[in-house]
Structure 1
Amino acid sequence: MSGLFADLTSVAGGRDAPRPRAGGLGNVTVAELVKLVRRPANWLLLAVTVALSLTFGYLVPYAGDAGGAAGAEGGPPGAPTVATLLPAELVGNSIGGLPVFLGAIMLILGVLTVGAEYGWGTWKTLLTRGPSRLVGYAGKLLALAVATLVTVVALFAAGAVTSAVIAGVEDQPVHWPAPAELLTGVAAGWLVAAMWAALGVLLAVLLRGVALPIGLGLVWLLAVQNLLASLAAPLLDWVAELQRWLPGPNAGSLVAALGAAPATPGVEQVVGGGRAALAVAGYLVGFALLAGALLRRRDIL
């Protein structure tokens, strides 16, 4: 009876009352990773990410080139040719989609990881019988970090296979990027992917759901930031200056500095690569901290 009374008192006491813990950060992170692995939607997102990257990064450009570099003559400036699809260009081709359309999928992943807990009502169970709010939140962030890294590595692996096949078909020499260049590319892609996932987490915590955060995030990623870059920035100087500080243009500048094709949507050298990396990292930390502060202070039970 005393144990039952203690449990009821703990639940009624809110977030500041003592409660039994389900484990430390390591256990929470492992549990979150298991949840990510067991959700079919996450595997579907990974498959769609890889499929989109290969389709628009390799297959469509190769088909448009008609099987030879000469076929791209007279095409739009920066249009890919067979030479740009070979293994030597693996880094740029693998991360070129992350500033816009692949980044949108990472945002969806972030929203689903956190926002689904509101729809299912499982935040209540996690935070009343499990770890503290910040430990539970940190476990989700670490699991997302692993998921985004796996996604970026999968993009590089799929791109490596595809570019090697193209080189074989076209009887071109295979020259792979240096290991340091590959590691830099993976790190930059991971940084951009994690930033968009963190934005998804922030929207999910702010709006306490899934549908509206995904909708607003996609509108920003796929519409607003492209309209700002293509329509408003050429006409208004202050919008052009604002572009230098927004997350999307900085992500595009970072991947452009590493060899992404300028014809790819969202890829443009607005600022230098070093400054872009710092800006993307700043947004990543800022999104994560703001979402954690909201989760810590608000009563969501």
Structure 2
Amino acid sequence: MSDVINVARAELFKLVRRPAAWTLLAASAVLSQVFGYLIPYLSYAGGDSGPMEGASKEAILASTLPDQLVSNTLGGFPVFAGALALVFGALVFGGEYGWGTVKTVLTQRPGRAASMAGQFLALASAVAVGVVILFALGSVSSTAIAVAQDRSIDFPSFVDLTAGYGAGLAIMLMWASLGALLGVVLRGVALPIGLGVVWVLGVENLVTGVSSSVLTALRPLRDVLPGVNAGSLASAVMPTRPPGIDAPPGVSSYVSDGRALVTVACYVAVCLVAAMLTYRRRDVV
């Protein structure tokens, strides 16, 4: 166990000094703030520009207030922030192949299993901190809007916040685990990122759209896709949206909340086991 902790500490020491890790966090934060708060608020404050998406101006403002913190933070996790988490996982696990340092890592005493477990622990810790930061930024933005518009500052209850954070952590960890698996299997970073992003932003949306309209036979396949289950899990913990405000892209209720949670957890476990078996059973060069 000490080897796993030591590897995790070394990975975290490396991650906090990698510009790419901070860039991905900054991109997630910018997307969350722009689409969750800035655009709706500008639409509300735009005078005679008209309501956004057919919603009343009061509903638009209500969607940016503190009681919608969980919705605005989790809104991008199933798709856009999830794609960035996948990239992060590929960087953590596939970067050593790109740098040619895999053999060097394995000569430092910890075995392959301990090395992989330590990397995953570092990945999970970084994702957990990232989700906290996104929630914190959302609370600051929503509070600022509430104060500026002289509205009440009513945050979700502790139970709702905990459920939202847990769901967000599970979703982001699932995407990061998928990126990690691709990084190990494909022994690099560029190809896993390319394939992963195409899957998240393209293939899943295509399968979901087709199965919901012209080819209903694909619905069983749709219901086990990672993005669909991530969106269903996010939808389950989100509060009721103001009238006329649609759910963010990718947030749906195609499967029940219990099934979504189990499926997301299974993706994390399967990715970790598959990555570890692959790492242990083949040559590293």
TM-score of the superposition, structure 1-length normalised? Answer: 0.87
Q: Is 2:73 aligned against 1:94?
A: yes
Matches within 5 A, 1:13-162: 24-66=3-45, 71-72=50-51, 75=54, 81-162=60-141
Root-mean-square deviation (CA, aligned residues, Å) is: 2.0
Residues in 1 aligned to 2:133 and 2:270: alpha-carbon distance in whole angstroms: 27
Q: Is 2:282 aligned against 1:298?
A: yes
Contact 1:67–1:82 (CA under 8 A) maintained in structure 2: no
Matches within 5 A, 1:243-262: 243-259=222-238, 262=246
Identify unmatched segments of 5+ residues in structure 1.
Answer: 1-22
Q: Is 2:246 aligned against 1:267?
A: no
Residues in 2 aligned to 1:170 and 1:111: alpha-carbon distance in whole angstroms: 42
TM-score of the superposition, structure 2-length normalised? Answer: 0.92
Contact 1:62–1:81 (CA under 8 A) maintained in structure 2: yes
- % identical equivalent positions: 49
Please point out which of 132, 146, 168 is paired with 2:147. 168
Superposed displacement of residue 157, structure 1: 0.2
Superposed displacement of residue 71, structure 1: 4.9
Give the match for residue 285 of structure 1. Answer: 269
Please point out which of 167, 170, 175 is paired with 1:196. 175
Q: More deviation in 210-219 or 83-92?
A: 83-92
Letter in 2 for 1:291: A
Q: Cα distance 1:234–1:80, how it changes in 2: closer, same or farther (>3 A)?
A: farther
Give the match for residue 3 of structure 1. Answer: none
Count of paired positions: 277
Contact 1:233–1:240 (CA under 8 A) maintained in structure 2: yes
What stretches of structure 1 move > 2 A for 4+ residues in a row? 64-68, 70-74, 230-233, 260-263
Superposed displacement of residue 240, structure 1: 2.2
Identify unmatched segments of 5+ residues in structure 2.
Answer: none
* CA deviation map 1:206-229 (0-9, x unaligned): 110111000000000011111122
| Larger Cα-atom Rg | 1
